[in-house]
Amino acid sequence: MLKVEGLNAGYGSVNILWDIGFEVKDGEIVAILGSNGAGKTTMVRTITGMVKASSGKVEFNGEDLSGKSSRVILDSGIVQVPEGRQLFTEMTVLENLELGAFNKETKAHFAENLEKCYNWFPKLRERAKQAAGTLSGGEQQMVAVARALIGMPKLLILDEPSLGLAPNIVDDILEVAKTMVKNDGISVLLVEQDITKALAAADRGYVIENGRVALEGTAAELSANEHVKKAYLGI
């Protein structure tokens, strides 16, 4: 589905990513793991067209998206839940969700997808007319995930979904992600520094250190890796 090869990118003269390569297959949850500052968010921004790569290739369902605009990438089926949620806080929950229907197809299916989101996150139905900025952090993250799902993604990118949230809320969101993969044919790229939770949800993972892929393997293999246990899991 998604194949990234030799990706180099950064800001101005400062390179952040060095020959990044990984793939996400159909029906997988793949975790991109690493500490704060490792280059994970720059990688996401490069894949989604917000940062221009200096070299390398991003291929999605056989189409080369390298250098394409964010809108073209979004239309291809890659939808991101950004780090920090980035909601319109003065707008209602429903108005924020409506923004997820960004083209003719998603607008046509808005009602049924909204109902799906309400079933996944029942609190959003209760809060539909409430300003998004008055919600708890966990509820705001639910809005951000639901807004992305309204966009009918083929690949959903979750960028640091655990940031500032209680563990049980993170568990709920990751459980929804697993359900979507199983029932709705959506693949997930989970970008996360909470390695324990990420590996509990993922099929496979890649560890990024200093802008490079340092390790890769199945979730079980990475959980058992001595470097991962010492550097990230405190074991």
Q: What is the pLDDT of residues 131-160, one digit of tens each?
A: 999 999 999 999 999 999 999 999 999 999
Question: How far apart, in whole angstroms, are the C-alpha atoms of residue 130 and residue 219?
Answer: 39
Confidence at 60, pLDDT banded by 50, 70, 90: very high
Work out the mean pLDDT of the chain and round it to a whole number.
94
Q: Would you give the distance in Å from CA 225 to the centre of its chain? A: 24
How many CB atoms are located within 10 Å of the residue 84 CB?
A: 13
**Which amino acid is located at 48 in the chain?**
T
Confidence of residue 164 (pLDDT cuts 50, 70, 90): confident
For residue 181, the model assigns a pLDDT of 92
Q: What is the pLDDT of residue 234?
A: 80
Interhelix angle 137-150/110-120, nearest 10 degrees: 150
Above 90 in pLDDT, residue 62? Answer: yes
Q: What is the pLDDT of residues 3-47, one digit of tens each?
A: 999 999 999 999 999 999 999 999 999 999 999 899 999 999 999
Task: Enumerate the CATH 3.40.50.300 domain ranges in the chain, comma separated.
Answer: 1-77+153-235
Bridge partners, 212 (sequence order): 209
Q: What pLDDT does 162 receive?
A: 87
CATH (residue range 1-77+153-235):
3.40.50.300
**Least confidently predicted of 55-64, 167-176, 200-209:** 167-176
Cβ count within 10 A of residue 55: 12
The Cα 84–Cα 100 span in angstroms is 17
Q: Residue 65 pLDDT more than 90?
A: yes
In angstroms, the CA 234 to CA 126 distance is 40
Q: Using only C-alpha atoms, what is the Rg of the chain?
A: 17
> DSSP letters along the chain, please?
-EEEEEEEEEETTEEEEEEEEEEE-TT-EEEEE--TTSSHHHHHHHHTTSS-EEEEEEEETTEE-TT--HHHHHHHTEEEE-TT----TTSBHHHHHHTT--SHHHHHTHHHHHHHHHHH-HHHHHTTTSBGGGS-HHHHHHHHHHHHHHT--SEEEEESTTTT--HHHHHHHHHHHHHHHHHH--EEEEEES-HHHHHHH-SEEEEEETTEEEEEEEHHHHHH-HHHHHHTS--
pTM of the predicted protein model: 0.94
- What is the pLDDT averaged over residues 186-212? 95
* Local confidence band at 84 (pLDDT 50, 70, 90 cut-offs): confident
**Six token digits for residue 52:** 């221009």
